[in-house]
Structure 1
Amino acid sequence: MTKVVLFGDSLTAGVVDGHSSPIFTRLLEDKFPDVEFINRGLPGDQTRNACKRLREDVLNEVPDIVVIFFGTNDVSSKEVFLANYHNNLAYMLTCISPNKCLLVTPGIAGPTRANLRPLSKMEQYAKETLTVAKEFEIPALDWFDYCKTKDPKELLQEDDLHYSKKAYQYLVDQLEPLLKAKLANLN
């Protein structure tokens, strides 16, 4: 069976009402019933920490595909700058093998989170994700571009950070064609 690792932070972990949930994984399993999805989302994670857990959480699983979805916490970090974020993503891709990877840009945060995650900075990190994808010639979902067209109240829970059920449905719908193409290239 084809194995896909979902590697990211609390948004990947499907945090709902403060707790990790299988929402993201289950929605993907519904679309791809013949694929094993392994969720390695860690709440609060940033790319610099993710590089340290890459072997244990991703490489040891020997995945066919890895969906890498970081950035929201990197944006708010005082230790991670745009260049670090770029280098951390590049490191992950190099370790995993770029042809196995798919990148997802960070999305948006709501108004009460704007002090640490302003829309302009979220956009910078989204663009940097796309730059890395272009450099490595791999597909990327511009989730930020999609999210900015929606009302944050529709996409986010009351905490203005984690996604609503509707947002996960949108995310999976946007991810589906990229994942389908990646899976088709395995054969």
Structure 2
Amino acid sequence: MNDWTQRSLLFLALIAGIHASSFPASAPGQQAATKPIKPKVVCFGDSITKRGYGEILANILDVEAINAGVGGNSTAKALRRLSKDVLAHKPDVVVIFFGTNDLRADADHVYVPVLKYKANLETMIDQCQHQGARVVLCTLPPIEHAAFFTRHQRGPFDAAGGLSKLIQTYRDAARQVASEKKVTLVDLNTLLAQQPEWLSNDGVHPSKEGNTIIAKHIAKAVAPMVANPAPESTGAESTGAESTDLESTGADSPR
């Protein structure tokens, strides 16, 4: 091959390289843009939430579920982390599930009176809706009394009218908030009372099977919300979904 031919081939290769480099196979963000974005659900609660029903919820609904459960949290403590642990994620749906610690009549540093509990739930809902998220509110689940009182003093609860009465007072408060704020209510008391296998031996927290049971019940409420997302917030508070009781009220069923 003579020098002229070699120079010609090198020139053609250079031109081809320049031409190819000016048309990249894909723009840097092109692949990410075509990847579907999953709806975002924040599971906001105490140790019952922390146990992990959210991960199962994510698999059931094919959503991104963020576990914002913190052990020992009352609504008062949770409000202080609402912005960081919930609103910062810009969720489509927020599941609010509190009350077991709020009613701790045996612990002044944890106990939240029922009227304050109600006000705290209202504030949580207002802030979530203001950002454009839909809200699901859960009632307190059943509590197994004998196991509960192996870890807690009975006297303060008896002085407050008894554990059963106290639990029902907080459930009624959550139900009232859901009705007034027009958000979906999941009546876990009635639902879980029919499935006693949900409860672990400590009488309060879910068993491994219980996490799945809770996730399935909450999924029924969340499913239509992620299938039909709320419009973006305009700065005004959203009216939320119509109040929906997924099961009949039923009697209080702590055991």
TM-score, scaled relative to structure 2:
0.64
Q: Which amino acid aligns with 1:55?
A: S
Distance, in Å, in 2 between the alignment partners of 1:148 and 1:121 is: 17
Q: Specify which of 187, 198, 206 is matched with residue 155 of structure 1.
A: 198
Q: Specify which of 43, 46, 53 is matched with residue 6 of structure 1.
A: 43
Q: Is the 8 A contact 1:105 1:142 kept in 2?
A: yes
Counterpart residue number, 2:188: 143
1:78-93 equivalent positions in 2, closer than 5 A: 78=108, 79-93=111-125
Counterpart residue number, 1:25: 54
1:32-181 equivalent positions in 2, closer than 5 A: 32-33=61-62, 35-77=63-105, 78=108, 79-97=111-129, 100-111=134-145, 112-114=147-149, 115=154, 118-151=163-196, 154-181=197-224
Give the SS at the match of 1:161. Answer: coil
Q: Is the 8 A contact 1:64 1:100 kept in 2?
A: yes
Measured against aligned partners, the alpha-carbon deviations of 1:136-175 in whole angstroms (never above 9, x if no partner) come to 1110100012233344xx2322222211122222212211
Deviation of 1:180 after TM superposition, in Å, equals: 0.8
Q: Is the 8 A contact 1:123 1:144 kept in 2?
A: no
Question: Aligned residues: percent identity?
Answer: 30
Q: How many residues align?
A: 176
RMSD: 1.8
Q: Is the 8 A contact 2:57 2:216 kept in 1?
A: no
Unmatched tracts of structure 2, length 5 or more: 1-36, 231-255
Give the SS at the match of 2:43. Answer: strand
Distance, in Å, in 1 between the alignment partners of 2:100 and 2:142 is: 8
Q: Is the 8 A contact 1:108 1:119 kept in 2?
A: no
Distance, in Å, in 1 between the alignment partners of 2:194 and 2:104 is: 22
Q: Is the 8 A contact 1:105 1:129 kept in 2?
A: yes
TM-score, scaled relative to structure 1:
0.86
Give the number of the structure whose residues are more often helix, by fraction.
1
Give the SS at the match of 2:167. Answer: helix
Q: Which amino acid aligns with 1:185?
A: N
Q: Which amino acid aligns with 1:9?
A: D
| Between 50-59 and 89-98, the greater mean CA deviation after superposition | 89-98
Distance, in Å, in 1 between the alignment partners of 2:168 and 2:219 is: 22
